[in-house]
Amino acid sequence: MSELVFSKWRARLWPIHHQELRKIIPLLLMKFLISLNYALLTGMKDAMVVTAQGGGAEVIPVLKGWGVLPVAILAAFLYAKLSMRLRQTTLFAIILFSFLSLIALYGYVLYPNMDALSPHHSADALQAWFGEGRGQHWVAVYRNWIPSLFFIMAELWGSFAIFILFWGFTSQIHTLSEAKRTYTLYIAAGDLASIAAGRMLVHYSQVSPQFLNSLQSITFAILVFGLIIFVLYQWLVRRVLPAGWDTAPLLATGTSTQKALSFRKSLVHLFSSKYVLCLAVMVISVGLTVNMIEVSWKASLKLLYPDIIQYQAYMGTVTSLVGTVALITVLLIGGGLIRYLGWFVSALLTPAVIGVSGVLFLGLILLYRTESTWFFGMQVPLTMIVLVGAVQQVAAKVMKYSFFDSTKEMAFIPLSPEEKTKGKAAVDVVSSRLGKSGASWLQVGLLDLVGTGSILSISHFLLPVLVIAVVGWIYAIKTLRPAVAASEALQ
């Protein structure tokens, strides 16, 4: 239908009918603002936990593996319970204003009084008990419990605001035809938000040398954006959507729960199907490699920019760059390149880029730590390591968003309807958790085993893990190739 109505470039860049504008434009603004808040929160949370007293990038895997994961599971459980009792509009308001209240509490009450509220004396005693350089990442979480809570809250905003508040809402009010035409636009809105957030982080870092002023300015902006999100949502509910669309609780009919698999059943199904297991290997590998390299890069970034303002400004620049490259890729390259190269080559692009750039980055760290003069007769500059790491981060995230996510979903096509339902549940429930949390558990375990307080000192362990994960990832893709190729031939 859209191909007959729109010109080639109109169909690619703006495939929206005039009568759809009342619904699509508010949704685009919602996606932009929700993603903008997430990018702002992410830029601040990393800067705060990495540069805090006794902190560092080593704190990130502790918080992700032992903080974010259990809190996310608890929050998901509470959400499921509330979904069976409350209307969707009520649930939307509860989630949104709960987050906004916590953000306001942090920016205007907790952080300004952080020194008085932080247990420095008991943290010092705990560090003395552990010994110099040992358990420092655990003590830092305890000492800096206020930034740690902010980190967890910011991570949960991504899960709940983006995936539940936005995508959950749009999936209920879109037809299949609308979804096919608007999905790329919503992704592009998120990329634009990353560009804007990066510029905002850099701007507030430059206008004020005091991080508190920067934090409160950004906090105020996040609260304003949150209120606009709520107004847009209410306008859609009251002026655009048909009356009575929200007359029952989200899970009252039981359809969602009937399709969902428990964690145990998902695990059983995962190992009972070689095809689904290969999909799981792909998802685990991307989560493991991206998160593992990201922490090492943030550790090297702290060495170069130990000041929180400088750290936040650099992170803002990288955030804008990710958004810019991802936007260009999504609108002009992504889907067309996948159709041109085919599934197999497109699927191999992500592990190839992450593997090569990751090995290069970790290799430079090893040369830097051993004080090798391999680099033109001198030691590898720290600025070069940070720059290569930044390029790696941009490339990895763009490849994931533009190629990995699409090729992963395409790999489900050869499965039967029942296998698709069970397979997606197994991959989404088990593999995504194991990938991200697995990277965190691995890094924390190595830090404790080696007895070090620096993530960079375990790079020689992480390098072979990266290679093994990428090789397993490529093998999984080769295993899936025949079935996906047969499915492509039928299209």
Instruction: Write the DSSP assignment of 114-133 as a string of letters.
Output: HHHHS-HHHHHHHHHHH-TT
Single out the residue in 251, 280, 298 at which a domain terminates.
Answer: 251
Query: What confidence score (pLDDT) does residue 252 get?
Result: 47
Query: What confidence score (pLDDT) does residue 425 get?
Result: 61
Single out the residue in 251, 271, 293 at which a domain terminates.
Answer: 251
Are 176 and 303 contained in the same domain? no
Query: What confidence score (pLDDT) does residue 170 get?
Result: 83
Are 443 and 326 contained in the same domain? yes
Sorted by sequence, the CB contacts under 8 Å of residue 243 that are 6+ apart come out as none
Closest alpha carbon to 146 in 99, 194, 198, 111: 111
Are 182 and 279 contained in the same domain? no
Range of the structural domain that residue 403 is part of: 260-491
In this structure, is the dihedral angle defined by the CA atoms of residues 398, 399, 405 and 407, taken in order, positive or negative? Answer: positive
Are 182 and 241 contained in the same domain? yes
Query: What confidence score (pLDDT) does residue 377 get?
Result: 60
Are 319 and 220 contained in the same domain? no
Single out the residue in 251, 284, 306 at which a domain terminates.
Answer: 251
CATH of the domain at 467: 1.20.1250.20
Distance CA(101)–CA(26), nearest Å, equals 24
Are 420 and 448 contained in the same domain? yes
Domain total in the chain: 2
Are 425 and 447 contained in the same domain? yes
Residue 13 lies in a domain: no
Residue 430 lies in a domain: yes
Sorted by sequence, the CB contacts under 8 Å of residue 277 that are 6+ apart come out as 270, 271
Query: What confidence score (pLDDT) does residue 341 get?
Result: 80
Q: What's the half-sphere exposure (Cβ side, CA atoms, 13 Å) at 284?
A: 21
Query: What confidence score (pLDDT) does residue 1 get?
Result: 44
Residue 481 lies in a domain: yes
Are 89 and 120 contained in the same domain? yes
Residue 444 lies in a domain: yes
Query: What confidence score (pLDDT) does residue 437 get?
Result: 85
Query: What confidence score (pLDDT) does residue 30 get?
Result: 96
Residue 10 lies in a domain: no
Distance CA(45)–CA(41), nearest Å, equals 6
pLDDT (tens, 9 = 90+) of the chain, 491 residues, equals: 444 467 766 766 777 877 878 889 999 999 999 999 999 999 999 899 999 988 889 999 999 888 888 888 788 788 878 888 888 889 899 999 999 999 999 999 999 999 999 999 999 999 899 887 788 889 999 999 999 999 999 999 987 888 778 877 887 787 656 766 776 788 889 889 999 999 999 999 888 778 899 999 999 999 999 999 999 999 999 888 887 666 555 544 444 444 445 556 655 656 677 888 899 899 999 999 999 999 999 999 999 999 999 999 999 999 999 999 888 887 776 556 776 788 899 899 999 999 999 999 999 999 888 776 665 666 778 899 999 999 999 999 888 877 887 788 778 778 776 666 666 666 765 677 778 888 999 999 999 888 887 899 999 999 999 999 999 999 999 999 998 888 666 65
Are 315 and 234 contained in the same domain? no
Query: What confidence score (pLDDT) does residue 286 get?
Result: 93
The three-state DSSP-derived secondary structure of 253-290 is: CCHHHHHCCCHHHHHHHHHHCHHHHHHHHHHHHHHHHH
Query: What confidence score (pLDDT) does residue 209 get?
Result: 78
Residue 69 lies in a domain: yes
Residue 168 lies in a domain: yes
Are 488 and 388 contained in the same domain? yes
Residue 268 lies in a domain: yes
Are 302 and 325 contained in the same domain? yes
CATH of the domain at 167: 1.20.1250
Backbone region of residue 135 per phi and psi (left: phi > 0; alpha: psi in -120 to 50; beta: other values): left
Instruction: Write the DSSP assignment of 459-482 as a string of letters.
Output: HHHHHHHHHHHHHHHHHHHHHHHH
Are 204 and 93 contained in the same domain? yes
